[in-house]
Amino acid sequence: MSYASSLAPSRESFPPKGFLSLQADAPVAGARAAEAAFAAYDRFRRRRIEAQLGPRAEEALRLLPLLLHLNRPGLPGYVDDPQCPVGVSGYSPHREEIRLARRHFPGADPRPSGVLRPAVELVAVMGSAGTIGFSGESDLDVWVCHGPAVSGWGLELFRRKVAAVEAWMNRHCRLEVHLFLQATQSVCRNDFGEAGPEGCGSAMGALLKEEFYRTGVPLAGKAPFWRLVPPGVGPEEYRRHCDLLRQSSAFDAGGYVDLGCVERVPPGELFGAVVWQIVKGWKSPFKSALKLGLLERGARSGPEGRPLCERLKERVLAGERVDPYRLLFDEVLAHYRVHGEAAAEDLLARCFYLKTGVRLDPSLRFTPTLLSLGSDEAVLREYVASWGWDERRLRCLNAFETWRLEWVAGLAREVDRYFLRTYQRIREALGTGEETPRITPRDLDVLGRKLRAVYGREQDKVEVLHLVGGGVEEPCVSLHQERLPDGEVPWRLFRGRVASPTVGGAERELLRSSDDPLELLVWAARNRLVGTRTRVFCRGLAGGVPAADLEALIRRLTELVERTRVSEPSHEALSADPVPDRLLIVPSLWGEGGGSEEVRAVFSNSWGETFCRRWHGPDALQALAEEVLVPFLLRSPDPTSLQVFAPLHKVGVLRGSPRRLQRELAAAAGLLGGRRFPEGLRRRLVGMSATGAYVLDRSGPGELRCRTFPSREGLLRFLCGVGPHTRVETRVESSDPELAPLKAAFAAACAGLIDVFLWEEGGRETILVVDEVGHLSRVAGPAERFPYRLARLLLFLEGTVADVGGQHGSPLRGKSLRQVLRIHSLLREGKWHARTATREHLSRVRALGLLPEGLVIERGTGKGEGEEAGYRITWGDQSIRSGEVGDPVAETRRRIREARLSGGGDEPFVTRVFLDAGFAREHCGAFVTTGHYLFYKQAVEQRLGG
* DSSP codes joined into one string, 709-765: ESSHHHHHHHHT---S-SEEEEEE----TTTHHHHHHHHH--TTSEEEEEEEETTEE
Contacts 24+ apart (CB under 8 A), 556-559: 556/584, 556/643, 556/645, 557/521, 557/522, 557/525, 557/530, 557/584, 557/602, 558/525, 558/530, 558/531, 558/532
In one letter, which amino acid is 168?
Answer: W
Percentage of the chain surpassing pLDDT 70?
Answer: 87
Query: Can you give 180-225 as a three-state secondary structure string?
Result: EEEEHHHHHCCCCCCCCCCCCHHHCCHHHHHHHHHHCEEEEECEEH
How far, in Å, are 484, 517, 543, 794 from residue 592 at the CA level?
Answer: 18, 11, 11, 54
Instruction: Please state which of the ranges 11-20, 242-251, 478-487, 836-845 shows the lowest mean pLDDT.
Output: 11-20
Q: What is the mean pLDDT of residues 808-815?
A: 91
664, β-bridge pairs? none
DSSP letter at 542?
A: T
Q: How many CB atoms lie within 10 A of CB 830?
A: 6
In whole angstroms, what is the distance from residue 869 CA to residue 861 CA?
Answer: 5
Within 568-654, residue ranges assigned H as helices are 571-574, 620-624, 630-635
The 10s digit of each residue's pLDDT in 746-777 is 999 999 999 999 998 877 789 999 999 999 99
Furthest-apart CA atoms within the chain: distance in Å = 130
505 versus 625: which is more confidently predicted? Answer: 625
Give the contacts of 937 (CB within 8 A, at least 6 positions apart).
Answer: 796, 910, 913
Could you tell me which of 482, 521, 491, 477 has the C-alpha nearest to residue 645?
521
The 10s digit of each residue's pLDDT in 349-379 is 999 999 998 889 888 765 555 554 458 888 8
Could you tell me which of 145, 143, 169, 165 has the C-alpha nearest to residue 155?
145
Could you tell me which of 716, 876, 912 has the C-alpha nearest to residue 797?
912
Give the contacts of 903 (CB within 8 A, at least 6 positions apart).
Answer: none
- pLDDT of 650 > 50? The answer is no
Q: Are 327 and 214 in contact (CB under 8 A)?
A: yes
Residue 217 has phi, psi (to 5 degrees) of -130, 110
Which pLDDT score is estimated for 309?
93
Within 509-546, residue ranges assigned H as helices are 517-526
The 10s digit of each residue's pLDDT in 262-318 is 877 777 777 778 888 888 888 888 989 999 999 888 888 765 568 899 999 999 999
The dihedral of CA 483, 485, 490, 493: what is its sign? negative
In whole angstroms, what is the distance from residue 39 CA to residue 7 CA?
Answer: 5
Strand boundaries in 525-677, DSSP class E: 535-539, 580-587, 598-605, 610-616, 642-644
In whole angstroms, what is the distance from residue 352 CA to residue 290 CA?
Answer: 8
DSSP letter at 927?
A: S
177, β-bridge pairs? 140
- Give the angle 661-725-775 at the CA atoms, nearest 5°: 65
Which pLDDT band, with edges at 50, 70 and 90, does 599 fall under? Answer: confident
- pLDDT of 11 > 50? The answer is no
Give the contacts of 459 (CB within 8 A, at least 6 positions apart).
Answer: none
Could you tell me which of 229, 832, 91, 137 has the C-alpha nearest to residue 468?
137
In whole angstroms, what is the distance from residue 128 CA to residue 352 CA?
Answer: 12
Give the contacts of 898 (CB within 8 A, at least 6 positions apart).
Answer: none
Which pLDDT score is estimated for 284?
84
Tell me the range of 135-149, 153-167, 427-441, 913-927 where mean pLDDT is highest.
Answer: 153-167
In whole angstroms, what is the distance from residue 810 CA to residue 752 CA?
Answer: 9
Which pLDDT score is estimated for 15?
43
Which pLDDT score is estimated for 19?
45
728, β-bridge pairs? 682
Which pLDDT score is estimated for 852?
58
Which pLDDT score is estimated for 367?
59
- pLDDT of 808 > 50? The answer is yes
**pTM of the predicted protein model:** 0.74
Q: Are 165 and 178 in contact (CB under 8 A)?
A: no
Could you tell me which of 150, 145, 187, 180 has the C-alpha nearest to residue 165?
180
Which pLDDT score is estimated for 544?
74
DSSP letter at 637?
A: S
- pLDDT of 5 > 60? The answer is no
**CB burial of residue 50 (10 Å; 0-12, 13-18, 19+):** middle
How far, in Å, are 94, 109, 632 from residue 97 at the CA level?
Answer: 5, 12, 52
The dihedral of CA 410, 411, 415, 418: what is its sign? positive
- 3-class SS at 465? coil
Residue 59 has phi, psi (to 5 degrees) of -65, -45
In whole angstroms, what is the distance from residue 489 CA to residue 482 CA?
Answer: 6
Which pLDDT band, with edges at 50, 70 and 90, does 906 fall under? Answer: low
- Residue 200 C-beta-side C-alpha neighbours within 13 Å: 26
How far is the first Cα of the chain from the last one, in angstroms, to the nearest whole number?
Answer: 101
Q: Could you tell me whether strands 764-770 and 754-761 are parallel, antiparallel, or unpaired per DSSP bridges?
A: antiparallel
Burial letters for 704-719: b for 16+ Cβ neighbours within 10 Å, e otherwise? Answer: bebbbbeeeeebbebb
In whole angstroms, what is the distance from residue 426 CA to residue 424 CA?
Answer: 5
Residue 221 has phi, psi (to 5 degrees) of 90, -150
Which pLDDT score is estimated for 670?
84
Which pLDDT score is estimated for 435?
58
